Amino acid sequence: MKNIYTIGIGLIGGSLAKDIKASNPDVVIHGISRKESTLDRALSLKLIDKKATLDDVKQADMVIISIPVDATVKLLPIVLDKIPDTALVIDAGSTKEAICKVVEHHPKRRNFLAAHPIAGTEYSGPDAAISGLFEGKTNIICEVEKTAFKLQEKALKLFKDIGMRIRYMNPEAHDRHIAYVSHLSHISSFMLGKTVIDKEKNERDIFDMAGSGFASTVRLAKSSPEMWAPIFKQNKGNIVETLDEYINNLTHFKTLMEAGDFEAIFNEMKNTNYIKEILKGIN
């Protein structure tokens, strides 16, 4: 792998570029983005070695697509049309069903590997890119059998170099599971933030009382709507189901509160403390 093209150089694309360069110093990272200002910033932050355009991917050994998932669905078939027969294309999108579907019958389907690195922060753009973001994190790979074996090997080496462990899953299972552990967490954080902001409009001092508990639960509400709205759109069915279950739990909690059943409330919390065991070792 000599020439790697990153389409999208924000949090994920930029962090991938940093770690790949650190583990493979001979690689040349070419950046592609919509805005010239983003490319300039990525260059000055040394996330990329050179600026490039979409047509340049005809010289690529590898292309990494890290742009919002609706834009990935549009761009991925075009990128596959342009690359040489030997090149590997990887996407990092947070949904997998629509992305895998759009290239299902593409003549270069075997050049594509569908991935979702489970790593991130609430920040976006090139300035959000950080070293070591993927160390010890899980990378979900979907439909691996549809990628040419030699290209799978190249991708796995790259993921190993940056410290990722791999899980294989089909795109439907990925989107169903990720709705619970990622998409619902973001919605709940956005709506908690909204509830408190709405209240603050009338009671100005409320944020003076906000402590670290509030800050950590609303952290995800700082996330970019440009990235999240397309994810919610693509995973609508699964997300509506998770919301039903979440709302049922909230309603049940409210009913217990109204009934003054604090023993049941204590038990609900005690049982949910099991999350400590589940999350042991996850930072």
Of residues 222-281, those binding ligand NAP (CB under 6 A): 224, 226-227, 231
Contact residue for ligand NAP among 27, 48, 69, 87 (CB under 6 A): 69
CB of 38 to ligand NAP, least distance (A): 4
Contact residue for ligand NAP among 3, 13, 90, 220 (CB under 6 A): 13
The rounded distance, in Å, linking the Cα atoms of 27 and 61 is: 10
Contact residue for ligand NAP among 4, 9, 17, 113 (CB under 6 A): 9
How is 188-225 classified by DSSP, letter by letter? HHHHHHHHHHHHHTT-TTGGGG--HHHHHHHGGGGS-H
CB of 207 to ligand NAP, least distance (A): 25
Q: What are phi and psi of 120, to 5 degrees?
A: 170, 180
Opening angle at CA 251, ends 246 and 254, nearest 5: 130
Tell me how many residues contact ligand NAP (CB under 6 A).
29
106, two tokens: 């593409």
Q: Is 117 in the site for ligand NAP (CB under 6 A)?
A: yes
Of the candidates 75, 84, 20, the one whose C-alpha atom is nearest the C-alpha of residue 46 is 20
CB of 99 to ligand NAP, least distance (A): 9
The rounded distance, in Å, linking the Cα atoms of 67 and 13 is: 8
The stretch among 2-10, 17-25, 148-156, 271-279 that binds ligand NAP (CB under 6 A) is 2-10
Q: Is 218 in the site for ligand NAP (CB under 6 A)?
A: no
Q: Is 171 in the site for ligand NAP (CB under 6 A)?
A: no
Amino acid at 49: D
Residue 50 β-bridge partners: 30
Residues forming contacts to ligand NAP in the complex (CB under 6 A) are: 8-13, 33-35, 38, 66-69, 71-72, 92-94, 116-117, 120, 124-125, 128, 224, 226-227, 231
